[in-house]
Amino acid sequence: MSDQSALQPAWDLLRDHLGGFVGSPGFLLTAVVLGIYVPGIVFSTVDVFVARRLTWQQSLAVYWRAMKWYGAVYIVALGVCIFVPLPFALAVPAAAPSVGEFARDLVLYFLVGDFCSYWWHRIEHRHGWYAKHIHRVHHADRPPLSIWTAMVVHPVEGFSVFVFFHLYGLVFPIHLFTFAVAAFAMTAVTMITHCGYRLPIYDSIFAHAAGHDLHHSRREPTNISVVLTLCDRLFGSYERASDWPAATRRAMSARPS
């Protein structure tokens, strides 16, 4: 199979089964929501039935605190996309992207999203009023974190980080298939950063739970990125978490109550 046609079956499957919905903004919004719920359900199941570090009541309580409003917004927005005629539609090309084009845009999507969200997150911690009134909502959750902690954010922060995570796709004309896959993957990664588990292969590529637990435990923020560790390493905010969770416990014990 050639580079040009390798992704064609997957793209044809989406177009054939979803029809005109593929050209709706609801298609991309659904990719984001799946990026929330797929890892959210998987790791909540692990929390409750495998690791048993949370009861189902505790897991459900964090979920409800995180998603009761965002879930409602999605349902309303999806209803608008389906039932209200919109004055625009997304371009739905017949041909899938080549593997090279797909890989290039996926990597750039993550690099741009990581860089922009990293610096925005640093600003969130440095700007006193914003940190106290907006970002504090997210940091109310302390380790051990639930994966749903990723969505415990003030609506202002929820909107702003959404834009920065997905800025590459919003600004540059990438293929709709690539946009949907990248939107799902980016969202899933930011969720998994809060999952509370070591994932050896995954942790060597993406920002991981061990490092982000330390971030939620420190007065001076370290491990700021929730996507990759690249910016943390480049700009001096990376902290190893090799003895996690012991390091997290020490950080929490040193933090004023």
State the total domains in the chain: 1
pLDDT above 60 for 254: no
pLDDT the model gives residue 244: 52
- Residue 220 confidence (pLDDT) above 90: no
Give the end-to-end CA distance of the chain in Å, rounded to a whole number.
Answer: 60
The per-residue pLDDT for 2 is 63
- Which range of residues forms the domain containing residue 26? 8-254
Here the tokens at position 69 are: 């409003």
Q: Tokens 């997210």 correspond to what residue?
A: 138
Kindly indicate the confidence band of residue 150, based on its pLDDT and cuts at 50, 70 and 90.
very high
Mean residue pLDDT of the chain comes to 89
Q: Which two tokens stand for residue 85?
A: 């005629």
pLDDT in tens, 223-242: 999 999 999 999 999 988 76
> Comparing 257 with 34, which gets the higher pLDDT?
34
Could you tell me if residue 3 is inside a domain? no
Instruction: Check: CB of residue 197 under 8 Å from CB of residue 43.
Output: yes
Beta strands in 87-199 (DSSP E): none
- Cα 165 from Cα 109, distance rounded (Å): 8
Question: Side chain identity at 18, as an amino acid letter?
Answer: L
Is the pLDDT confidence value at 199 over 80?
yes
For residue 247, is pLDDT > 90? no
Is 38 among the domain residues? yes
* Contact yes or no for 192/39 (Cβ under 8 A): yes
pLDDT tens profile 43-73: 999 999 999 999 999 999 999 999 999 999 9
Residue 9: per-residue pLDDT: 96
- pLDDT-based confidence at residue 143 (cuts at 50, 70, 90): low
For residue 248, the model assigns a pLDDT of 44
Residue 2 falls inside a structural domain = no
Give percent above pLDDT 70 in the chain: 90
Let me know if residue 220 belongs to a domain. yes
In a domain, 153, yes or no: yes
Residue 65 lies in a domain: yes
* Rg for the chain, CA atoms, rounded: 19
Confidence class of residue 130 from pLDDT cuts 50, 70 and 90? confident
Q: Taking 70 as the threshold, does the pLDDT of residue 255 lie above it? A: no
d(CA 63, CA 93): 37
- Residue 1 in any domain: the answer is no
Q: How many contiguous H segments (helices) and E segments (strands) does the chain have?
A: 13, 0
Q: Which two tokens stand for residue 128?
A: 């006193």
What is the model's pTM?
A: 0.91
What b/e string do you get for 124-160 counting C-beta neighbours within 10 Å, with b at 16 or more?
A: bbeeeebeeebbeebbebebbbbbbbbbbbeeebbeb
More confident residue, 128 or 190: 190
How many CA atoms within 13 Å lie on the side-chain side of 144? 14
Q: At which residue do the structure tokens 């700007």 appear?
A: 127
